[in-house]
Amino acid sequence: MSADYLFVPLQLGALSLPNRIVMPALTRMRAGPGGVPLPISAEYYAQRASAGLIVTEATAISANAHGYPQMPGIYSPDQIAGWRRVTEAVHAKGGLIVLQIVHHERWSHSSYNPDGSPPVAPSSIAAPGLAYTPAFQQAPFETPHALETDEIPEIVEAFWNAARNALDANFDGVEIHGANGFLLDQFLQDGSNHRNDEYGGSIENRTRLLLEVVDAIIDVIGADRTAVRLSPHGNLGGLSDSDTVPHFIYVIRELGKRELAYLHMIEPRASSAGFGDDASVDNANNAALFRHAFDGPMITAGGYSPEAAVQVLESKLADAVAFGRMFVANPDLPERIRGGAALNRFDRATAYAGGSQGYTDYPRLAAASQV
């Protein structure tokens, strides 16, 4: 099967992509003190600038939004300056890069919060399993503080500020992380949202916070540079929903009304991709289930091979495909796909934290041919 379809240019809102091969958000745990991106991150992202679009690793919108060690932020002048080095390096190579912004809690720990306060959530229900503290020590997830109704506007404002700061850092757009069990996803799903105010109960109410965040960010950067990531049927963070398909059809249709740059959908088989090399077993196909509900461009992600990516594009179930671990291991992934070259093998042992090993030292084709 020819890979040519992956190299057809694509317009995502204000973004003109040279190809349909997307680098999605990938947790790397290599930010410096204070959540400041280091110069090595500029090198890492610039190495991958031949992607049609780069989405950064999930980035905290506030000091209380972190959830794993060495996670970057976008709320301080030093963080903005660090990210500006990244965008300048990517743009110098002709690439496009958007910032993924997130609030982690309840899937976090009080040790991340400057005042030692507990994580927040829609309801006081602890996530299952263990958290990693900033010192890389494991601790049980704590029972979170259920946000009071009058505290929720602070969350929306933090997302708004993050988008404004992304503009200052010269990003080409913002991807709102509404997936993978983090705060906005916790509000969406009734397994974690037991509220009885205007942010809980009905599908419309549980969707309210996400839409308020989307509308606030559109106000800052425009709909054509705003995107959302969702993960229907995902199981990270112990989330569940009693009526997934009707609920997410509603969510996606509401997002479609806002004429976003794109919607980024994760396939459930990739729900546990950060914790092992085997895809989850799940019969749900989000691209097939939800494509009809969204009129704008859609990116699909989750365990795709180049061949499967061509198939999903040809079937019109998506407009672009994101490759995660392949982009970690292959900084020149588009060139390798175009030429049918062998791919470097992903090394999980060096995926998180550390320095250049497993980050900026994966060989490119020219280097590999000289070995």
User: Does position 218 have pLDDT exceeding 90, yes or no?
Assistant: yes
- Please say whether the beta carbons of 156 and 58 come within 8 A: no
In DSSP terms, which residues pair with 192 in a beta bridge?
Answer: none
Angle, to 10 degrees, between the axis of helix 244-256 and the axis of helix 203-221?
A: 30
- Please say whether the beta carbons of 186 and 192 come within 8 A: yes
pTM: 0.95
User: Does position 113 have pLDDT exceeding 90, yes or no?
Assistant: yes
Query: What residue numbers bound the domain in which 253 lies?
Result: 4-369
**Predicted local distance difference test score (pLDDT) of residue 105:** 84
Number of domains present in the structure of the chain: 1
pLDDT band at residue 2, thresholds of 50, 70 and 90?
Answer: confident
| Count of Cβ atoms closer than 10 Å to residue 20 Cβ | 26
Residues 42-64: tens digit of each pLDDT:
999 999 999 999 999 999 999 99
- Please say whether the beta carbons of 49 and 3 come within 8 A: no
Q: Can you tell me the distance from the alpha carbon of 322 to that of 320, in angstroms, rounded to the nearest whole number?
A: 7
Residues 295-323: tens digit of each pLDDT:
999 999 998 999 999 999 999 999 999 99
To the nearest whole number, what is the mean pLDDT of the chain? 93
Q: Any idea what the CATH number is for the domain that residue 134 is in?
A: 3.20.20.70
Residues 233-292: tens digit of each pLDDT:
988 888 889 999 999 999 999 999 999 999 999 998 755 444 444 444 445 899 999 999
How would you classify the pairing of strands 10-12 and 15-17?
antiparallel
User: Does position 335 have pLDDT exceeding 90, yes or no?
Assistant: yes
Nearest to 221 by CA among 172, 255, 153, 155: 172
Which tokens go with 33? 């003190």
**Predicted local distance difference test score (pLDDT) of residue 365:** 92
How would you classify the pairing of strands 10-12 and 120-121?
unpaired
Residues 166-216: tens digit of each pLDDT:
999 999 999 999 999 999 999 999 999 999 999 999 999 999 999 999 999
- Please say whether the beta carbons of 102 and 58 come within 8 A: yes
